[in-house]
A and B are shown apart, each in its own frame.
Chain A
Amino acid sequence: ETGVTQSPTHLIKTRGQQVTLRCSSQSGHNTVSWYQQALGQGPQFIFQYYREEENGRGNFPPRFSGLQFPNYSSELNVNALELDDSALYLCASSLARAGEKLFFGSGTQLSVL
C-alpha cells in the first residue's frame, strides 16, 4: 500500500459530460501528479501540482484541469468528455516538486460511452 487513495474506483460517463476525480496524497507528500493510462499503453503525464499550483503540464488540452488543496489532496477535472478519455487515471504523490520516486494510488477507471 502506498498511502495514496483515489476515488471513485470506477466511473461511467457519457460523451460531453464533466467528471471530477479525487486523490489523497501519502502523508508528508506535498506534490501530486496525474497520469492517464489507456489500455495497453504506459501512463502519460497530465500535470503536476506543488503547493497548490500547477508547475508542469503534459500534452493534454485545457479541458483537463486540476486543483490541489492545502492538505495536499487533489482533484482532476475533465470537461466535455470524449470517447478517447476512457482510461485509467492515476494519481501519484511525491516528497518534493522535483521528486522522482512516484507512489501511485489504485487509480480510477473511467469509461466514456
Chain B
Amino acid sequence: QKEVEQNSGPLSVPEGAIASLNCTYSDRGSQSFFWYRQYSGKSPELIMSIYSNGDKEDGRFTAQLNKASQYVSLLIRDSQPSDSATYLCAVTGRRSGGYNKLIFGAGTRLAVHP
C-alpha cells in the first residue's frame, strides 16, 4: 500500500466547472496536509495547507480533511484553463528525531478545457 495515493488522471473538466481532486493516506499519525500544483517542467507550488478536520477555503480553492477516513481533497471552483496542471497531495509523517518530511502522492493531472 502506498503511503499517499492519488488517482493519476487525467481528470478532464470543462471551463467553469468544479474540479474535485482526492487523496488518501495510510499513516493515522499524519498531522499536516498540503496541496501543491505543478506545471509541466516546473517545480511544485504550495497552494493549500490544512491541519484539522473540516473545510478550509482560499479563493477558488477548498481543502477538505477527514482524519477518521484518512482522506483529503481539493476542490477548485470555476476551473480555468490555467488550472491545468498536476496536483500533488503531500502529508507529513509522524514527527521523529526532530524533523518531519513530506510524503507526496504521484499526483493527479487536471485538464480544464474551454
Task: Give the B-binding residues of A (Cβ under 8 A).
Answer: 33, 35, 40-45, 48, 50, 55-56, 58, 88, 90, 97-98, 100-107
Contact = CB atoms under 8 A, between A and B. Distances in A.
A50 B45 CA distance: 22
20 contacts: A33-B102, A35-B102, A41-B106, A42-B90, A42-B104, A42-B107, A43-B44, A43-B102, A43-B104, A45-B102, A45-B103, A48-B99, A50-B99, A55-B98, A56-B100, A58-B101, A100-B100, A102-B46, A102-B102, A106-B42
Interface in B61-114: 88, 90, 92, 95, 97-107
Interface centre among A33, A43, A97 (most CB of B within 10 A): A43
Contacts of B95: 98
Interface magnitude class on chain B: 20 to 34
B26 interface: no
Interface of B: 4, 32, 34, 42-46, 49, 88, 90, 92, 95, 97-107
A40 B88 CA distance: 11
